[in-house]
Amino acid sequence: MKAAFALLICVLALQGAARAQDYPSRPIRIIDAYPPGGTSDVVARIIAQRLTENLRQQVVLDNRPGGNAVIGTNLAAKAPADGYTLLVFTSTLTIQPSLYKNLPYDVRKDFAPIALTYNITNVLVVNPSTPAGNLKDFIALVRAKPGMMSYGSGGTGTGTHLAMELLRSMADLRITHVPYKGIAPAVADIVGGHIDCAFATMSSVVTLIKAGKLRALAVATAQRSSALPEVPTADEAGVAGYVSPNAGGVLAPAKTPRAIVSRLNTEIVRILETKEIRERFTALGAEPVGGTPEQFRAFIASEIEKWARVVKASGMETQTW
């Protein structure tokens, strides 16, 4: 019995290797659960273009927005596990399990991680007239006015919202949340003096910071951003251990043959290591990552656990999907 089972495993492995050797033999679709024009869309198109050249098969992006990324994500989760349907990963997928009951998929079980492609830097910005020149001063200012200051976000449950909720819980702050339909209008209201601050994506604020219309207090990543190297990390600025990456990557449906996952990982990491791509990412305020599928899987698991604690501490109610 054991010998027959071992033989079956060998046969399946050989079949998987054979499929991978012929892969890809037709176009590949990458589903993006967000509208065109956002950072995830722009980065995915850059990678798709280079994959098309390297794999000698058309790699196309299929935008399927809606339901806070649930619609497109579910479509990818239910696709055949053959390597011809992939999904753009964003950090929203690690927040969803804490916000929604009865999601139609399980991010940890229904996907095979391929590669973590980038970290977009979130940066804490205030109006230049704010009497706080650094993060410590800002924290002291918020504590002196409990509940009176406000922060904007790109919407409840988004990365920009949870980035501030993490800071609020770690620094013991009372500050009022003002959700917007996207981070751009929140940033405009900081410039206009209508709200006090926000964690915003680097690409959405770097020009305003350099023009003196916003003041950057700290970045949410573990290392300083090459786009604004003079701005300290939140950890350096006094909130020890604070990290809130806004990450992107590529997933495949679970049970995609390991050989195909490895092939795609190798190709994507090779793309990320090229000088041209690193420069294009930097211009977007993104830092290329790479790494192995196993490292990506561990990252997803740790982020899900972290955001579960943050959502619980924030008092947000879990919604039924």
| Sheet with strand 28-32: strands edge to edge | 59-63, 28-32, 85-90, 246-253, 111-120, 286-290
| pLDDT score at 13 | 52
In a domain? residue 226: no
Q: Are residues 39 and 73 in the same domain?
A: yes
Give the pLDDT score at 35: 82
pLDDT of the residue at 28: 98
- Asked if 21 and 116 sit in the same domain, the reply is yes
Q: Is residue 88 part of a domain?
A: yes
- Residue 63 inside a domain? The answer is yes
Residues 206 and 276 in one domain: no
Q: What is the pLDDT of residue 101?
A: 85
Task: Identify whether 241 is part of a domain.
Answer: no
68 falls within a domain: yes
Pairing of strands 197-201, 122-126: antiparallel
300 shares a domain with 206: no
**Burial of 8 by CB count in 10 Å (0-12 exposed, 13-18 middle, 19+ buried)?**
exposed
What are the per-10-residue average pLDDT scores of the chain (321 residues)?
Answer: 52 54 94 85 93 96 89 96 97 90 94 95 95 96 96 87 93 94 90 96 89 97 89 96 91 98 98 94 86 97 92 77 69
What's the CATH number where 157 sits? 3.40.190.10
Q: Where is the domain boundary, 219, 236, 266?
A: 219
Residue type, 165: E
What is the residue range of 29's domain? 10-120+246-320
Q: Pick from 62, 36, 32, 53: which is nearest to 248 by CA?
A: 32
Q: Which residues are CB-contacts of 11 (< 8 A; sequence separation ≥ 6)?
A: none
**Structural domains of the chain, count:** 2
CATH of the domain at 304: 3.40.190.150
61 plus 135 within the same structural domain: no
Q: What is the reported pLDDT for 2?
A: 55
Spatial distance between the Cα atoms of 247 and 170, rounded to a whole number of angstroms: 21
Query: Is residue 3 assigned to a domain?
Result: no
**194 plus 257 within the same structural domain:** no
292/191 same-domain check: no
Whether 54 and 106 map to the same domain: the answer is: yes
> Of 167, 200, 219, which closes a domain?
219
- What is the pLDDT, as a whole number, of residue 45? 94
Residues 14 and 115 in one domain: yes
Q: Which pLDDT score, from 0 to 100, does residue 202 have?
A: 87
Question: Which residues are CB-contacts of 273 (< 8 A; sequence separation ≥ 6)?
Answer: 288, 290
| Selection from 214, 206, 95, 71 nearest residue 155 by Cα | 95
132 and 104 belong to one structural domain? no
pTM of whole model > 0.85? Answer: no
Q: Look up residue 267 and give its two tokens.
A: 């190709």
Verify that 310 and 210 share a domain, yes or no: no
Closest CA to 237 of 140, 310, 307, 149: 140
In a domain, 276, yes or no: yes
CB neighbours of residue 275 within 10 Å: 7
The verdict on 105 and 148 lying in the same domain is no
Please report whether residue 4 resides in a domain: no
